[in-house]
């Protein structure tokens, strides 16, 4: 037990000192190994073997697909279509932003990619229309977090693999919660826009315009149906779906829309490789971290400790919501999933909590971490686009974070919101 205590102390100390999350996990695990009889080669062996998986190929492919759609004009056509649905309603551009993020999320699987792609178009547009820069950036940062909530989702893939669950069922479980969170963001955005006098688009709603933008963006709008339809129908696996998404986006961008040149591929692959590298380093070390916890029987000890306090699974989930909201401010999404899953999932399953229910609560919690400084990646991307101060941007996201927390608590008490579709499609 002493090695485990030292590991956690070292981990949080390194985080406090500003070390990257991957280095913090790796060093703390190495320190724990040095205090046991486990060979030091355990760290490198587990880190390498964890990444040697066909399923994990979906991660770099979905990341690349997001960048291709950003450069290739698919995201612009998604924004145009979303704008046609809104018209002149109060706060119309804020509604367009959320809808566009929801559409893009159903293709990319990445929150940072969603914020970068949609934010680059919508934040300047909102600022020009008189929306506050901090409001525009804050809304986009929060709406962009739907990139990991609405399937396909990279964190859902990681959780499903670590919990030995079906990725397809995990994706289905995230659909209704994702749309609920999107609806909550729209309600808050419209209310704030009404209070501040933010206006809608210059163009009124018309079915003719909707049909025109839908036809112009048909290839972009078809993407989620191709990807998710293929997964849910069993035609191809999530990894194959990611590969098909990249090929589809490349063909549409290069040969149909022609907004992307072959020379753009170097920048796209470079950005994809850098993003993938940062995720995979964390993934490898976090898997070793989680495996050490299992060998040291920490999940069993945590289960005994929790059961001494309460045997009510719902109460434990509520405590978990508070815990992950706090730790999400300092820990990466991947690290949280790979640490909390082996620690808490076994005891929650014993108490009757469905693993897909816990998985969605976990992903929503990590979603909040993406928009809360100091580690909130989405906030920093939105800050760079909006040009506002971090403190102003952080203040502007509070109403949106509150709406997301309300929905997360609702999901804790009403698991059927999450489980209805999986039970229907996977009886």
Give the sign of the dihedral formed by CA 208, CA 245, CA 152, CA 366: negative
Angle at CA of residue 20, ends 112 and 360, nearest 5° = 45
Angle at CA of residue 21, ends 16 and 27, nearest 5° = 85
At residue 329, the pLDDT reads 75
Task: Say what the pTM is.
Answer: 0.80
Contact criterion met (CB below 8 Å) for 104 and 119: no
Half-sphere exposure of 388 (CA within 13 A, CB side): 25
Across 218-249, b (16+ Cβ under 10 Å) vs e yields ebbbebbebbbebbbeeeebbbbbbbbbbebb
Contacts of 208 (CB under 8 A, 6+ apart): none
Contact criterion met (CB below 8 Å) for 264 and 89: no
Integer Cα distance of 344 and 25 in angstroms: 19
At residue 200, the pLDDT reads 67
Written as tens digits, the pLDDT of the chain (427 aa) is 567 788 888 888 887 787 877 788 888 888 888 887 777 777 777 777 767 767 677 778 887 887 888 788 888 888 888 878 877 777 788 888 899 889 888 877 778 778 887 888 888 888 887 888 999 999 999 998 888 888 888 889 989 988 989 988 999 999 999 999 999 999 999 999 888 888 766 677 788 888 998 899 899 888 888 887 887 777 888 788 888 989 999 999 999 989 899 999 999 999 888 877 877 777 778 778 777 777 777 766 777 777 788 888 889 899 888 888 877 777 778 778 888 888 889 888 988 999 999 999 999 988 887 787 666 778 878 888 888 887 888 889 999 999 999 999 999 999 999 999 999 888 7
DSSP state of 376: -
What is the phi-psi region of residue 90: left when phi exceeds 0, alpha when psi lies from -120 to 50, beta otherwise? beta
Integer Cα distance of 314 and 336 in angstroms: 20
Nearest to 120 by CA among 316, 385, 371, 334: 385
Helix pair 111-128, 133-144: axis angle to 10 deg: 160
Residue 209 three-state SS: helix
At residue 156, the pLDDT reads 92
Give the sign of the dihedral formed by CA 260, CA 262, CA 266, CA 268: positive
Q: Residue written as tokens 């020009």?
A: 128
DSSP state of 202: S
DSSP state of 146: G
Residue 134 three-state SS: helix
Q: ω before 239 within 30° of 0 (cis)?
A: no
Residue 360 three-state SS: helix
Integer Cα distance of 68 and 254 in angstroms: 10
DSSP state of 121: H
At residue 182, the pLDDT reads 94
Integer Cα distance of 167 and 53 in angstroms: 14
State the greatest distance between any 2 C-alpha atoms of the chain, in Å, as a whole number.
71
What's the burial of 202, exposed, middle or buried (CB within 10 Å: 0-12/13-18/19+)? exposed
DSSP state of 56: G
């Amino acid at each position: 037990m002493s090695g485990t205590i030292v590991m956690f102390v070292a981990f949080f100390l390194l985080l406090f000192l500003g070390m990257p999350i991957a280095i913090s996990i790796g060093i703390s695990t190495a320190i724990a190994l040095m205090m046991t009889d486990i060979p030091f080669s355990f760290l490198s062996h587990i880190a390498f073997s964890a990444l040697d998986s066909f399923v994990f190929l979906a991660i770099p492919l979905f990341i690349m697909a997001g960048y291709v759609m950003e450069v290739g004009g698919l995201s612009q056509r998604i924004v145009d279509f979303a704008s046609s649905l809104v018209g002149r309603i109060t706060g119309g551009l804020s509604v367009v932003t959320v809808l566009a993020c929801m559409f893009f999320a159903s293709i990319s699987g990445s929150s940072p990619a969603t914020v970068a792609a949609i934010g680059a178009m919508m934040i300047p547009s909102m600022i020009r229309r008189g929306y506050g820069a901090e409001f525009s950036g804050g809304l986009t940062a929060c709406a962009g977090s739907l990139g990991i909530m609405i399937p396909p989702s990279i964190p859902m893939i990681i959780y499903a693999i670590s919990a030995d669950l079906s990725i397809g069922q995990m994706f289905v479980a995230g659909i209704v919660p994702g749309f609920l969170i999107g609806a909550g963001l729209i309600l808050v955005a419209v209310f704030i826009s009404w209070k501040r006098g933010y206006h809608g688009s210059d163009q009124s709603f018309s079915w003719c315009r909707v049909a025109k933008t839908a036809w112009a963006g048909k290839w972009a709008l078809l993407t989620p149906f191709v990807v998710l339809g293929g997964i849910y129908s069993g035609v191809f696996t999530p990894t194959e779906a990611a590969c098909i998404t990249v090929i589809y986006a490349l063909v549409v961008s290069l040969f149909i829309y022609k907004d992307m040149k072959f020379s753009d591929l170097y920048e796209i692959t470079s950005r994809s490789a850098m993003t993938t590298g940062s995720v995979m380093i964390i993934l490898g070390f976090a898997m070793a971290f989680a495996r050490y916890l299992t060998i040291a029987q920490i999940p069993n000890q945590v289960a005994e400790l929790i059961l001494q306090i309460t045997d009510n699974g719902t109460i434990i989930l509520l405590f978990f919501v508070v815990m992950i909201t706090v730790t999400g401010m300092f820990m990466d999404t991947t690290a949280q999933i790979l640490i909390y899953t082996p620690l808490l999932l076994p005891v929650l399953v014993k108490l009757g909590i469905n693993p897909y229910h816990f998985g969605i609560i976990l992903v929503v919690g990590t979603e909040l971490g993406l928009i809360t400084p100091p580690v909130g990646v989405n906030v920093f991307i939105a800050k760079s686009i909006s040009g506002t101060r971090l403190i102003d941007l952080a203040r502007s996201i509070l109403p949106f974070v509150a709406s997301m927390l309300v929905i997360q608590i609702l999901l804790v008490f009403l698991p059927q919101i999450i489980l209805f579709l999986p039970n229907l499609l996977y009886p």
